[in-house]
Amino acid sequence: MNIFNVNIEMIANFFFAGLCGLLLKICLSYSDQKWVNTYHYTLTFILLPVITLTITRIISNNIALALGMVGALSIVRFRTPIKNPLELSYYFLLITFGICANVNLNLSFNLLFFITGSFIVFKVGTLVLSKYNLFDMAFNTERRYYLVLALQSKDSSLESYEELINYNHTHNNEYVYHISSNSKEKLLKLIEKYDDSELKNFELRKASNIEGYL
């Protein structure tokens, strides 16, 4: 079997799965869900459907392999403190590459071919958008500030905060809130609400065109 065989049908399936994720991101954006308008979230919405498609193709009709996959993929948990969802997608992608290499080399090659091509297209696309000053319009990074707030205890008022992106409870017993705003002063006032006994740590910075999200 030629492992370096580009399967057009498989690539088409990858493309369709990624396109579905991208269309969902666009729909959320037009529904005033501005948190998706970042470089990292856009890539995440494209990568995760493709990774899931690959995993389900590997485990189809193989119960033993499916049970083994549960253990392998449980290494990456949503409870693990991560800076952004794209980092989580990378972990899943690396594990998927390893499993594919053992089970189906041709599938692994096609996945690598598609992912590499997607990154090249995405990079060229962002460079074109930047050249014509459209990057900020597409990814909502213009004059955008991001705050990572680590608190000693849970703050229920922040859970309904209009500019909250997400939050999680880490293994260090910290409540970490990710907040985005166009106003740096607004975020500074939010930090000042907490005294030293409540505030464990924070990080505030302006988004760059490439990072988009902390």
DSSP secondary structure string for all residues of 43-89: HHHHHHHHHHHHHHHHHTT-HHHHHHHHHHHTTS-TTS--S-HHHHH
Please say which residue of 76, 104, 137 terminates a domain: 137
Residues 84 and 166 in one domain: no
- Residue 161 is predicted with a pLDDT of 78
High-pLDDT (> 90) share of the chain, %: 0
Lowest mean pLDDT among 11-15, 16-20, 77-81, 96-100: 77-81
Confidence of residue 77 (pLDDT cuts 50, 70, 90): low
CATH of the domain at 152: 3.30.70.920
- Residue 56 is predicted with a pLDDT of 80
Residues 84 and 173 in one domain: no
Can you tell me the distance from the alpha carbon of 167 to that of 163, in angstroms, rounded to the nearest whole number? 12
Residues 124 and 155 in one domain: no
- Residue 83 is predicted with a pLDDT of 57
Beta strand residue intervals within 97-144, DSSP E: none
Q: Residue 91 pLDDT more than 80?
A: no
End-to-end CA distance of the chain: 43
- Residue 214 is predicted with a pLDDT of 34
Please say which residue of 79, 113, 137 terminates a domain: 137
* Domain carrying residue 198: 144-206
Residues 121 and 186 in one domain: no
Q: Does 154 reside within a domain?
A: yes
What pTM was estimated for this model as a whole? 0.56
Joined together, the tokens standing for residue 202 give 């924070």
Overall domain count for the chain: 2
Q: Which of 18-27, 74-83, 135-144, 153-162 has the highest mean pLDDT?
A: 18-27
Please say which residue of 137, 155, 179 terminates a domain: 137
- Residue 149 is predicted with a pLDDT of 84
Q: Residue 80 pLDDT more than 60?
A: no
Sort residue 69 into left (φ over 0), alpha (ψ -120 to 50) or beta. Answer: alpha
